[in-house]
Structure 1
Amino acid sequence: MQTEKVRAHIVNWLKDYVTNSRTKGFVVGVSGGVDSAVVSTLCAQTGLPTLCVEMPIHQSQDQVARAQKHIKALKKTHANVTDIQVDLTQVFEQFRSAVPHVKEDSPTLHLSLANTRARFRMSTLYYFAGMHNFLVAGTGNKVEDFGVGFYTKYGDGGVDLSPIADLMKSEVYNLAREMDVIDEIVQAAPTDGLFGDSRSDEDQIGASYDELEWAMKQVEKGKTEEDFEGRDKEVFRIYTSRHKANKHKMVPIPVCEIPLHLK
């Protein structure tokens, strides 16, 4: 990848989009991960107002520290960057106490509450976007958004534009290094931070991003599960099963079209 040219292309694309949409800037949720660090940096490099928002919900302290260190470094070099922290922990706990109780050890409960965290954050970002006439910049990469669907529908998937959604995770890391994103973020294990513990994306998915990129490319080549064995076969199965299960996130909302003769 021609990293510098890709960086410049995205920055120009972002500026053009703001101009054409008659908005004023960007709001980005910063989590302490590489994707949000890269997106917030790209937005900052447009020279347009960029608001970085931290939204902890029982967040691991190392994630909070990485996010704060990244924002501090970004503000030193970009006068157009501002930041705010909105602690949503109490809101989240009030929600938990308001909904019907189920078994605390239920896997569906933990997943539902994790997705609820992401949706609270989406609402918060759109609050600030509405206040300032900003656009919500998404932080999903190509593998997450169009490969395994590793994001929350109407949560971190609820955005106005996606600057890095055509980049593989490895390419996002290349951009991070090109733009001098802090080492702590580049070296940290990717995590969605939605469960309040140290589990990584790989722990949840069962495969690394490098493996998922490989599987995505094999699918594009028309390969099937029968073409592989061992770990390759397992990774290919993980990718295809998640892609199928999460396809509903990647396609437009289905509309029941009424035949003209019934209207």
Structure 2
Amino acid sequence: MIATPDEMPSFGFRTAEDDVAATREQITTFIANRVEDADADGVVVCLSGGIDSSVTAALAVEALGPERVRGLVLPARKDDSAAQFDAHLVADRLDITATTVHLAPMLDAFEDTVAPAVSPEADKLARGNALARMRATTAYYAANSRNLLVCGTTNRTEWLLGYFTKYGDGAADIRPLADRYKTEVRALAAHLDVPRDIREKPPSAGLWRDQTDAEELGAPYSLIDCILTKLVDEDLGVEGAAAELGVSVDRVERYADMHLAAKHKRDAVPTPSTGDSDTGLFHELESQF
């Protein structure tokens, strides 16, 4: 019998009340320590109106205080108004300053000049990735000008599948949610009292009109998280994970392939010395501190 996504057990997920409270404390401590270690004045968070950025901003405020958290709302389409409203709703609840920067003119200029010169055919995915990198550029400009760290919002599910844009939303100085599955982020959102409408809206990267995560990924996060837990955390292999969960081998294989194909996104950029032992180049300098 094949299990449905709603029947999937939450294998290994820290979603019980005590687990969520402990996770909340661990992440806020992580944020505070990283900001202190970097001698930064705070963080900047890109607010999309979605659950991941809302949870990230709430945890940053808990760790640092609202005065040290800067929000950026970066719409690029006219139909982004609902997302903008939700982003500012979260900012108002958290009492943080959130600046809206409309990126449509920048994206239009890119499509009028760079895109046709590089590739004569329009590519929706390439355009979406370009938008994500424009958002990253804006976030780093804000961070550089105010001595802030860019606080990424990518969760563990997205990280393992490579469901983020390299040097776009994947670009960050810290990633507080990157070892928490989407299922855990939802539990954190409820614990942090993120507005219900934001918690329940269909997840979307917002790179083009009507885009949804479930449509692109081929399954809801409730199923994908269970598959990844068995594949990555418990190392059961494709057939073992399929048998354990009562789903088809083909379905598990899809996410195994995505995970392997995205390795380059998670790894540091290769250099000729990649894999060599530490050369000790900076040891003398470091010993002085």
In 2, the alpha carbon distance for the partners of 1:83 and 1:139 equals 16
Correspondence 1:1-263 to 2 at 5 A? 1=14, 2-46=19-63, 47=65, 49-58=68-77, 59-75=79-95, 81-99=96-114, 100=116, 102-104=120-122, 109-145=123-159, 147-195=160-208, 197-220=209-232, 221-227=234-240, 228=242, 231-257=247-273
Residues 215, 235 of structure 1: 8 Å contact kept = no
In 1, the alpha carbon distance for the partners of 2:238 and 2:38 equals 44
Deviation, structure 1 residue 231:
4.6
In 1, the alpha carbon distance for the partners of 2:210 and 2:92 equals 24
Residues 71, 83 of structure 1: 8 Å contact kept = yes
In 2, the alpha carbon distance for the partners of 1:122 and 1:243 equals 23
Deviation, structure 1 residue 223:
2.9
Deviation, structure 1 residue 226:
3.6
TM-score, structure 2 length as denominator? 0.81
Residues 137, 162 of structure 1: 8 Å contact kept = yes
Secondary structure at the counterpart of residue 72 of structure 1: helix
**Aligned pairs, number:** 248
Deviation, structure 1 residue 14:
1.1
Letter in structure 2 aligned against 1:50:
V
Q: Percent identity?
A: 30
Letter in structure 2 aligned against 1:192:
A
In 2, the alpha carbon distance for the partners of 1:103 and 1:249 equals 25
Deviation, structure 1 residue 235:
2.6
Letter in structure 2 aligned against 1:66:
D
Secondary structure at the counterpart of residue 60 of structure 1: helix
In 2, the alpha carbon distance for the partners of 1:252 and 1:103 equals 31
Displaced runs of 4 or more, over 4 A: none
CA RMSD of aligned residues (A): 1.8
Which residues of structure 1 form unaligned runs of 5+? 76-80
In 2, the alpha carbon distance for the partners of 1:235 and 1:29 equals 33
Deviation, structure 1 residue 213:
1.0
Residues 73, 99 of structure 2: 8 Å contact kept = yes
TM-score, structure 1 length as denominator? 0.89
Which stretch shifts more, 221-230 or 157-166? 221-230
Which residues of structure 2 form unaligned runs of 5+? 1-13, 277-289
Residues 161, 262 of structure 2: 8 Å contact kept = yes
Deviations 1:60-95 (A, max 9, x none): 3322221122112221xxxxx211001011000000
Deviations 1:74-123 (A, max 9, x none): 21xxxxx211001011000000000225234xxxx110000000000000
